[in-house]
Amino acid sequence: MAALPLYHRIYTVLTEQIHDGAYPPGTRLPGEMALARQFDVSRVTIRRTLDQLERHGLVERLQGRGTFVRAGRATEPVRAEVIGLVENLLAMGLRTKVKVLHFAFEPAPAPVAERLGIAGGTTALHTIRLRSYKGAPFSYAVTWLPEAVGRTFGRRDLTSTPLMRLLARAGAAPAAASQRVFARAAGAKVAALLEVDVGAPLLGIERRVRDVRGRPVEHLRALYRPDRYEFEMDMQIQPHDPDALWEPVGPAGA
């Protein structure tokens, strides 16, 4: 895949600086010439960067005055702790909104079936959800559930009740989860839904959730806007042991 254009790379840097507080709400950004010198690019490139920042609601450009970081925007991204994962997923579901884009019982592809512990081609519930926080989309999630679990609720339930709670109601209370984190470039479909440019970097999560009896009850693959979602993890190391490895602080198996 071709490298991201210069203006988008600068946009990513400035977005991170805005969210990190280097430019608080109401602050004036450096002028076009100053930014061009800072990033060693042309003013045309900087204008495209500022256009993108404005289009995504991060800044406001005032004729004759300059470019200002918008006040009143949601500066804090949604956070999810890795420790206590199930509990934090429930909490996130309660404070965010979901739009269900797809809800159907379909044959599970072989890789998904393997993760769910069922035979390839077995019917399972396939859902696609777009999650938003304070009106701004931040995640695109594709989820597969065993058919028996999926038959216990409907499409409308997913818009009003966290999935973790629906699983518990179905007799498949989540008890543990394993996941991996990866990076992906946004494709055209996901880019439009998450309101980013095609090729923009996204944070990816693949997760398998098990219930109290150890049965796989959910396979999820989700993409997140990294400027609106982040992970937190507390870690500790044994004192006086320089060769010890860092370990997460919290209950095992979360």
pLDDT band at 14, cuts 50/70/90?
confident
Q: Which of the residue ranges 19-28, 127-136, 212-221 would you say has the lowest mean pLDDT?
A: 19-28
Place of tokens 């602050």: 27
Residue 96: DSSP 8-state: S
d(CA 87, CA 89): 5
Q: List C-alpha distances in Å: 78 to 12, 81, 99, 115.
A: 18, 10, 17, 27
Question: DSSP E strands: which ranges in 95-135?
Answer: 97-107, 123-133
**What digits encode the pLDDT tens for the residues 241-253?**
655 555 554 433 3
What stretch(es) of the chain map to CATH 3.40.1410.10? 78-231
Is 200 or 94 the better-scoring residue by pLDDT?
200
pLDDT band at 140, cuts 50/70/90?
very high
Place of tokens 């398998």: 208
Instruction: Give the pLDDT of residue 30.
Output: 93
Place of tokens 């900087």: 46
**What digits encode the pLDDT tens for the residues 167-219?**
999 999 988 888 888 888 888 899 999 998 888 889 999 999 999 899 999 99
Evaluate if residue 85 carries a pLDDT over 60.
Answer: no
Average pLDDT, the chain: 82
Q: Which of the residue ranges 36-50, 82-96, 210-224 would you say has the lowest mean pLDDT?
A: 82-96
The share of the chain scoring above pLDDT 70, in percent, equals 78
Evaluate if residue 61 carries a pLDDT over 50.
Answer: yes
**Mean predicted confidence (pLDDT) in 52-63:** 87
Is 20 or 136 the better-scoring residue by pLDDT?
136
What stretch(es) of the chain map to CATH 1.10.10.10? 6-69
Give me the CATH topology for the region 78-231. Chorismate lyase (3.40.1410)
Evaluate if residue 96 carries a pLDDT over 60.
Answer: yes
d(CA 139, CA 193): 9
Domain 6-69 in CATH 1.10.10.10: yes
